Copies of this chain bind each other. A is one copy, B any other.
């Protein structure tokens, strides 16, 4: 019994299809896979019958259309011409009934729409549609001829990117051009390998200005048939040799920036899933264009949106995949609904599942094919009949919180995606440690608890948004307040520290307190002296717990600050600590976070032992030297 008795055809049967099959099996949705490989990764997970033909083959698509109700794709390099014909047959007027009958596909839907896929296939067109819909993208220029490329080089200056419009993936088809001499070679290289285009005057090459980005971000967007756009968390991706290598979720950006990036990504998907591809040649207000737009079939499914975070804080959309994406693998273990299940829900018209993270932190590490570099135990390996890959797989199982996914590919060719690991944790330092453990194993080493952070931190360091905000009314409070910072540092708790004065920067205080939770803070420590209003006013403007540190002023011995902080009216609590005791404020914040983060609370147990031992040393000394000689 299928969920809603609809069969889904999938073009492509690689690892994305495999994980889609996993989700379909749970929902009891029948998938029919089109892939030339008889035993492709996706087909291995199903006892059903599939189609052993290339997903680019029109006959394979027609055969599929005769077997299923909905067609989707796990790869964008599919035959959109045939897909469009199928959709048009469905949408067209009575005179095309014969064609429908010829295909026998009059009830087949294609999601995402062939229009979306076609626009995305052509990276120049994709860029153009995004640009025309006011989505920020890197400046770009069409380069039909070498002369155009030379002109563009003058405009963009070196280095810039020369790109094939079609068929590019994992860095192939992209060349960074650093000088005019390189330009000619690059242009010739790309134009030689170009994918055949219907327009023979088009070189299939365009240029993109090089943008200085500080991070690469990505997000999965689910588009439902009824035009909801639901976003997953923003993640940070670390590429290696143009292949996604590590994904950190959530990404190391603050919550407000993340919201901005999510909204941008939704708008980008909207632009690509609702506009006709030929919008640029038409006036969209003409009746013909309007009718054409109304005929554009609906798009649905998950889309992977890759973005650049520039050094100036601006976010640009890089490119979009009309399918589940490597940067969304982590959702299987870390989110309430996986990208694969939500892709199926979207194209089947089922309710979209919640996309919330259900863990504090998650990361994904790709496992690429390797030559036998795990030779630390190659003798052992041979004896046991293990390969280097097997040894990597096995060692990964020792990493706490790690879930291994292997894709069932026969040959571990170097660079081939063989599997991935998702790892989860409740603390930011632990997730980083676990990723380093995995990277160490992938480098061919055995599992160890003691990895050298310096071996990985230059590329893979994870700097998540701060959990604690330390603020103070004046820089004169810093000598006291920095003790809180030092305590947090010793517990590996990420924090931010700044000056916010209730009386001199009231607007800043309101802004700070009101955005604190959305930016990702979980606790605020506020220090102030005299008429110490900062902690209480901040508490009135946020739902976060606020710890108040009374800073001793020139008179009244700090009692003024203490009373101002602790005697809050009913309704708005402040957690007051002792006068000038910012140490305890840091420790209290660590205890609060430790209620839900085990590594912080075990750190606190260690700390309590440490301070007990410090006293024990003094007890011993006192016993040894006697009270008269003690100093």
Contacts and interface: CB of A to CB of B under 8 A. Distances in A.
Contacts of A577: 566, 568, 573-576
Interface in A339-370: 341, 345, 350-351, 353-354, 356, 358-360
Nearest to A543: B604
A556 B497 CA distance: 38
A571 interface: yes
Contact of A26 (B405, B573, B585): B405
A400 B336 contact: yes
A393 B607 CA distance: 50
Contacts of A353: 397, 402-403
A594 B539 CA distance: 14
B26 A404 contact: yes
Interface stretch (A40-48, A103-111, A178-186, A273-281): A40-48
A3 B384 CA distance: 12
Contacts of A45: 25, 45-47
A584 interface: yes
A195 interface: no
A1 B345 contact: no
A52 to B, nearest CB: 12
- Count class of interface residues, chain A: 35 or more
Interface stretch (A87-95, A114-122, A406-414): A406-414
Nearest to A578: B567
A585 B573 contact: yes
Nearest to A605: B543
A354 B400 contact: yes
B345 A406 contact: no
A448 interface: no
A455 interface: no
Nearest to A391: B4
A410 B566 CA distance: 66
A327 interface: no
Contacts of A611: 571
Given A1-B409, A356-B401, A592-B595, 5 more contacts: A4-B386, A4-B390, A45-B45, A353-B403, A572-B584
Interface of A: 1, 3-5, 22, 25-28, 39, 43-48, 333, 336-337, 341, 345, 350-351, 353-354, 356, 358-360, 384-387, 389-390, 393-394, 397-398, 400-410, 412, 419, 424, 426, 517, 522-523, 540, 543-547, 562, 566-579, 581, 583-585, 587-588, 591-596, 601, 604-605, 607-608, 611
